[in-house]
Chains A and B, each alone.
Chain A
Amino acid sequence: MARTDPKKDVVIIGLGWTGSIAGIELAKEGLDILALERGADRDTVPDFQYPNVADELRYGVRYGFMQKPAKSTVTFRHAQNETALPMRHLGSFLPGDGVGGAGMHWNANTWRPQAEELRLKSYVTEEFGAGIIPEDMTIQDWGVTYEELEPYFDRFEYMLGISGQAGNVGGKIVSGGNPFEAPRAREFPMQPLQMQLAPRMFRDKAEEMGLHPFPMPAAIASESYVNEYGMQLGPCNYCGFCERYGCLNYSKASPQTCILDALKRYDNFNYRTHCEVLKVELAADGKTATGVTYFDEAAQEEVFQPADIVIMAAYSLHNTHLCLLSGIGKPYDPVKGEGVVGRNYAYQMTGGTKAFFEDIEFNPFVGSGSSAYVINDYGTNQIDFAAEGFIGGAYIHASQLNGQPIRNLPLPADVPSWGAGWKKGIKDWYGHSMGVSLHGSNMANRDCYLDLDPTYTDRHGRPLLRMTFDWKDNDTRMSQFMKEKIERVVAELNPTSFKSSYKDTGAHYDIRPYQSTHNVGGTVMGTDPATSVLNRYQQSWDVHNVFILGAGSFPQNIQYNPTGALGGLTYWTLDAIRRDYLSAPGPLV
C-alpha cells in the first residue's frame, strides 16, 4: 500500500555534496525541506572512527561505503550492436551510497574547469575551425562562462577549505601555482599540504625541465579551518586513508565535516535514510513535478511525497536514470540523433607510468589523496589541437596516496604475477616505486549514451540504466600524447626501470579495473533545448520545478576531477533559485 505524506516545499533526492548544499541554502530561506537518501546515515564517529575505518579489505576492496550492485547497478555494452549485461561487481567507477555520498570517500582533488573548457565548442571553432571536430563528436558549450561562475567556485572552495597554491590571482601570475589557470579572485584559504618524497622528486625534475609544477588543490586541511557555516576541519595527519574511506580525522572535506551538523540545526530541514526515490511524479500536463514516489525501507512501502520543488541531487547516473523513468525530458535516440536525456555520457581518460627505484624508500604509507605535484603544461588550453590531431588535454601528476598493500603494490615488469617470484618481488619492491599519471578529458560522442535497458530490472522492477560507451581515437591519441610527455620526465628521474599503462588506438573501455568515479553527462546543461536537458541554471527545460545537480550537467568531460566544477555550479543554481525562482516559479530562461 502506498502512503502519502504531508506536502513539503522542497524534496531533495540524495544527501551527498549537492544535496547537502541545496539543503542548507534553501533551509536558510525558511522552506520546509525533506531530503531522501537511499543509503545509511553516516557520521565521522562512529562510521569513520579510528581505527575501524582504516581497513583496506573491508572498505578498499569490498567497497564498504559504495553502492551495492544487488540494489543498484547498470548494464553495459561497447556499442549499439551488442547486448548489454548487468554489472554484478563494480570496478571502473564506484558511486557512493549513504549520507555523504561519494563526497565522503573521495581523494579531495578540487579543481576549477578552464575557462576554455566551459565554452569548448566555441573555443575549438574560433581557434582551430569547426572542421577539426570529428563528425560524431557532440561537444558543446555549457551555457555559462567562467567569469559568471568564478564567485561560486570561490565560495565552494572556501566552504570546503582548500589547501593549495593559487597560480593566477586577479590576472597576476603567482609563482609556485598553476600559471595556466583562469584568474581567481583570491588565494586558497590554506597553505598547501606537506608533500612527500614522490611528488617532491617529480616537482624538482619538472622544474629542471622548464615545466611548471604546483601542489594539487586539496580539500584536505593543512591547518585548523572554519568555513562559512562554522563547520571545522583539523589538520591532516597523512594517514593515507582518503579514497574509499571516510576521514577519521575531521581533515577531509565532506558533507559530514563541512555542512551536515550545521544543516541539522534547522528545524525546517529533515532527512530520511534508506529511502530510495523510484520516480519523480509529474502533473497531468507534464510541465511541473508534483513530488516523488520513494520506497521506505523501514516501513516496506511506497510513499508519495508531494513537493513544490524537486532537487535531483543523486549521483549523475542515477539522475539520468530517474529522468528516464519519470518522463522528464525526451530520451536520447542515437540513430536519429534526437532527444536529450542520456545524451553525451562521457568518462575520464586516465593512465600512467610506474617508476621503480632500487635505492629509494618512499614510505608510501605516509600520504593523502591529494598529496601531489601537478603540471598543467599540457592542459586543454595549452595544446594545438590542429597540430596534435585531438581535442582535449590532461594534467599530469605524481601523487603519494597510500601504501595499502592489497591495492597499491606495483611491481616491475619482469616480476612474475604469482608464486615465489612474486613474493620475492614484493619484498624487493614494496615502497620503492612512484607513479606519474595523466588525468584527462573525454569528449562526448554520438554513440556514447545512457538509456533504459530492455531486459534487466532492479529489485523494484524498474529497468536498469544501460551504458553504451567506448574509447574513441580522439581520446586515445590524447592518451598517447601524454604518455610521451610522462615517460620523458620519468626517464629523467633515472629509475631502475619503469612500466607504462596507457590506452592506445583501438583500445576498448574495460569496465572492470578502477579508473575514476567521474561519470559525466546524461542530463547536460546548455543553451538549446534540442541538445540539453537543463538550461544554464541546471533547471529542467520541460519541468521547471525540477533542478538537477551534479556532473550529469557536464556536456563532455573536462580534464579535471569534477567536484570543483559541480560544486560551483550547485551554488550558482541555488543562488538563482533563491534570487529568482522562489518569488516567481517558472522557467528561468
Chain B
Amino acid sequence: MQGVAGKILRVNLTERKITTDEPEEDFYRKYLGGAGFVSYFLLKEVPPGIDALSPENKIIYALGPMTGLAMPGATRNCIGAKSPLTGGYSKTEVGGFWPMEVKKAGYDAIIVEGRADSPVYLLVTNDGVELKDAGHLWGKTVMDTHDTIAEETGIKGIRTSAIGPGGENQVRYACVINDLKDAAGRGGLGAVMGSKNLKAIAVRGRKNPQVADAAKLRELTLFMNKEYYDLPLFNPSMHDVGTGEHSMMISGNAVGNMPSHNFRDNDFPTVEKITATTTMDVYGTGMEACAACAIRCKKTVAIQEPWNVDKRNGGPEYESLGALGSTCGVDDLAAIIKANELANLYSMDTISLGVSIAFGMECFENEIITLEDTGGIDLRFGNAEAMLQMVEMIARREGIGATLAEGTKRAAEILGHGSEEFAMHVKGLELPMHDPRVKQGLGIVYSFEAHGADHCAGLHDTAATQPSAGFEHLKGMGATIPLPANDLSGDKVANQKASHLWSLFRDSAVSCQFVPWTFSQQVEIIAAATGWSYTAHEALQLGERVATLGRIFNLREGIDSSQDELPKRFFNGTKSGGLKNGGIDKEKMDEAVHTMYAMMGWDEHTGVPTRAKLAELGISWAEEEIPATVA
C-alpha cells in the first residue's frame, strides 16, 4: 500500500499490552482514515450501553492518507470515542504537528482500550512503543506536561497529544491538546483520556510512507502555495488574523449571528473590542502554521498585565472569542484571552466551556443559582472576573464548577427549576458561535448530525446566498441553487447534504477546511497518495457511510430522532438586533430534518437507516446493531 502506513497501533491499558493490526487494502479504501476509521471501530468494538468514562470505552486517534503529506492543510488527525458529554457518537479533528509524527512513526491510527491502574503516557517512535509512568505528570498543565516529556525523553522535536487537569478531573467537555495550543475540541474526549489514566501520547517519527504520484502532489502543493490568495474559496483574513476578523464579527452582530448573553440577545454593541483584528492589534505577537501550511491562520498573543499570558499557548479563535466573550456578555479582551489560555492549559473545549458558564450566568440572573451556590461570586453576564473564576472552578470541579463541568444538559437536570430553557445544546453538545436562526440550513445539520451541534459539519448559509465560483464548486457535489440564509426548502436540504458529506470525507482524508482545496482536488490528492483510481463518487459515498454508522451508534445508545432538535430558544426572536423579527419556523425545520433523513436513505419518519442504504454503502454488517425497538 502507498500513502498509508498500513498499521494500526492497539494499546490495552488494563493489560499493558501493545499490539498491531494490519488491515487489508480494501478496508483502507472503504473507510479511508480519520472519521471513517472512528465510525467503524466505535460501532464494531465499543459495547452498547457502557459508561463513556469506563474502561470499556475506546479512544481512537486516526490519521488519513493526507496526513503527513508536505502540503497545506494536511497535518491533521481525528479523535473519536463514545462521548461523555452526549452519551453518543463523537469525533473531533485537530491540526499541528503531532499527526505527521504518528504517520512517520509508522501508524495510521492508535486505538487505546481499558484503563491503566496508575497514570501513564504512551511513547511512540520508530524504535518501539512503550507505556511510561506519568505519576509525576498528573496534575500538570498541558504545557508543563509537554515540556517535562520533552526534557525527560531527550527526544528532539517530540510532539505530544495530552490532557491537563480538565481531562484528569473528567470535565465532560475536556478536550485533547496537540502540543500546546491545537485542540481536538468537541465532545469531551479529553475526559475519556482522563478516565483511562492516560496523560499523553508522545510521538517522534522518522519516515513517511511512500506515495504513488509524488509529482502530482508537488504540482498541487505549488498550485495552492502560489494561487491561494486568488482562489474563490479563500478568505484572505485567515492569513492576517485567523478566524474572527473584524468585519466578520461586526457584520455577524448586525444580523444577529453573534451570540450574546447565552444566545438570548445576540446584540452586542461592544463587539469591536473582542474581534480577532483587535486581538492582534493589541496583544498579537505573530501568526503560526501547522506543518507545511502556507495559510498560517494561528494567532499568537502575549499579555503581561493584569494576567500573564504566554504566547506559546496560542491565541483565541473566533469560537473562543464568542463563547468566552459575547456569549458570557464579556467584552474584556484580556480576560477572554486569559480564559482561552487556561482552557488550553487545562484542556477544556472553549465552546462548551463558554456556553456552560453563560448557562450558569443566566441561571444566576434568574435566581436558580444563588450567591451561596457560587461561594459569593457575582455570576452575572459581563463579569469578566467571575467568568475567569468559573474556568478555574470547572477545571477543578470545585463548588458550582462541579455542576457546570457536567455540560449544560446535565447541569440543567441537576439544577431543575426550569433551567433547561437556558441549556443551549443539541444532544448534549453545546452550540457553537453560529446562530441557527440566521444560518437556518446549518440548523438542519446541528439538529440531525450524530455528534450534535457541530459548525464544521455543514454549509454556512451566508456563504451560499448568491451565484459564485464557490457555489459552482458545491454544485459538483449535489448542491442545487443559492438560497436565502433562512430558507428551509428541499433545495436547501440538498445543499446541506452535499456540504455535510464533503465534510465527512474531508474529516476522513484528513484535510483542513481552512485551506481552500476544492473537493475535486482532495479526491485527486487521495488518488495521488494511494495510487487508487479514487473517485468523487467514492468520496461522497464515504461521507454517507460515516454519517450512517454514526447514526446507528446513536440509535444503539437510545439517541433517536426525538433528540434531533434545537433548543426552544431558537424558535423565537430576540428583543432587539437582527433577530427581533422572529426565530425559526419549527414546523419548517422539522420538515427539513425529515427531508434530510429521506435524502440520506434513512426512514423519513424515524431516521433509521434502511436496509437498502446499508447494502449500497457496503455496511450491511451494521444492520444487526440497529436496536429491534427502532428497526
| Chain A bound to chain B | no
Q: B residues engaging A (CB < 8 A)?
A: none
- Residues on A lying within 8 angstroms of B by beta carbon are none
